Amino acid sequence: MKESKRIKKNRGMTYVELIVVLSIFAVMSSIVLFNYGEFQAKVDIKNLASDIALKIVEAQ
């Protein structure tokens, strides 16, 4: 009888576990979003450099 009560008691997630998971998700999301701006700036610079190189080749 005690074993069946334990099984029922351990089902689901507690609020603490839910808060921990959401906190980890929030931290990881903020890191990704922070780095995305830096990544986008690098991509823009590379695209501009490629465009300039193409214009130079076309001008010759």
Please state the domain extents for the chain: 2-59
Has residue 1 got a pLDDT over 60?
no
* CA atoms 6, 8, 9, 12: torsion sign: positive
Question: In whole angstroms, what is the distance from residue 4 CA to residue 11 CA?
Answer: 11
- Residues 2-60 have pLDDT tens digits of 666 656 666 777 899 999 999 999 999 999 988 888 889 899 999 999 999 999 999 88
Read off the DSSP letter of residue 49: H
Helix (H) or strand (E) holding 44: helix 15-59
Question: In whole angstroms, what is the distance from residue 48 CA to residue 41 CA?
Answer: 11
pTM (2 decimals)?
Answer: 0.51
Q: Tell me the Cα Rg of the chain.
A: 26
